Amino acid sequence: MFLSIAKNMLTARKPISLEMLRAAAERALYGVGLGFGFYLMLGSFINERFNPKLIIGTGVFIQFIIGLLSTLAVIYGVTPYRPEEFLIYANGGEEQAITLMGDLPEILSNHPMLLAFLGLTIFMAGLTSLLPAAEIGVQITESLMKFGRSKAALYFMGIVTVLGILDSPPNIADMFLKAVTTSLLLTSIFEAYPIVIGKEKPGAIDLAVLVVSVTLFIAGFIAQVHHDIKLGGIYYASVVLALFIGLLGIMGEKIVPQGPE
């Protein structure tokens, strides 16, 4: 029975759609960890004190450990040993994952080792995302506001605390997450600008890759904006926030003038 289900899952066919590509790109972005996404996207703020190979390599290793721990948690916690349970786990998606959260107290009450696995997994997942993003946030605050590191860290923690309080309702959190996804596609275009205006002009191959990448980013941004608008309601704010972030990228120096170094 299980082999038959696995075979059907491997051989099933479904036409490729724009919605499928958008969802795949969204999950790929989340899969590598938003912290590392920001770390790479905002690389211009990283100075010579940091070794990106060491930090990213450590993150990849931690993600590997997370994969092992989460596998053990699923095997010993959810235990989809019956075909119908396996189908629910395989096809349930986000809705089934949220439903499972309600069953966690009962699952964990008799499995202290599983609780330790789950806690360690969550801690490591937060570590790989929060530390790089926090470091970049502090450096951005230092650069923009011309503060010392301690004062920049204090301001940054205050901003994060306020946003965390506003972000606590689930619908607001999802709205902000959609705004981040949409704005990343827009800010990715800005990363191509230094390549074009640099002293060393890109070659033909580099320019072709650049044009294709920017075209895909623009198409992805339009598709994500259309998706947010189609959701309606509070998700209109996702589009507004994404456009505001894009405006900051275009008019950043006029809004926050660069002072003497």
The pLDDT profile of the chain, 261 residues, written as one tens digit per residue, is 555 655 665 566 667 777 777 777 776 666 555 545 555 544 545 555 666 676 667 767 777 777 777 666 666 655 555 666 666 666 655 566 666 667 767 767 777 777 777 777 777 766 666 766 777 778 778 877 788 888 888 888 888 888 888 877 888 888 888 888 888 888 877 777 777 776 777 778 878 888 888 888 888 888 888 988 988 888 899 899 888 888 877 776 665 555 554
pLDDT of the residue at 232? 85
Residue 25 carries which side chain, given as an amino acid letter? A
Domain boundaries, the chain: 18-166, 170-253
Nearest of 59, 44, 34 to residue 181 by alpha carbon: 34
Helices 52-73 and 34-41: angle between axes, nearest 10 degrees? 160
Q: Is 231 exposed, middle or buried (0-12, 13-18, 19+ CB in 10 A)?
A: middle
Residue 92 carries which side chain, given as an amino acid letter? G
Residue 186 and residue 224 in contact, taking contact as beta carbons nearer than 8 Å: no
Nearest of 223, 186, 242 to residue 19 by alpha carbon: 223
Residue 33 falls in which region: left (phi positive, over 0), alpha (psi -120 to 50) or beta:
left
Cα(213)–Cα(196) distance, integer angstroms: 13
pLDDT of the residue at 44? 47
Sign of CA dihedral 75, 78, 82, 88: negative
What does the block give as tokens for 195?
């390549």
Residue 176 and residue 187 in contact, taking contact as beta carbons nearer than 8 Å: no
pTM of the model: 0.50
Annotate the chain with three-state secondary structure. Answer: CHHHHHHHHHHCCCCCCHHHHHHHHHHHHHHCCHHHHHHHHCHHHCCCCCCHHHHHHHHHHHHHHHHHHHHHHHHHHHCCCCHHHHHHHHHCHHHHHHHHHHHHHHHHHCCHHHHHHHHHHHHHHHHHHHHHHHHHHHHHHHHHHCCCHHHHHHHHHHHHHHHHHHCCCHHHHHHHHHHHHHHHHHHHHHCCHHHHHCCCCCCHHHHHHHHHHHHHHHHHHHHHHHHHHHHCHHHHHHHHHHHHHHHHHHHHHHHCCCCCC
What does the block give as tokens for 169?
């309702």
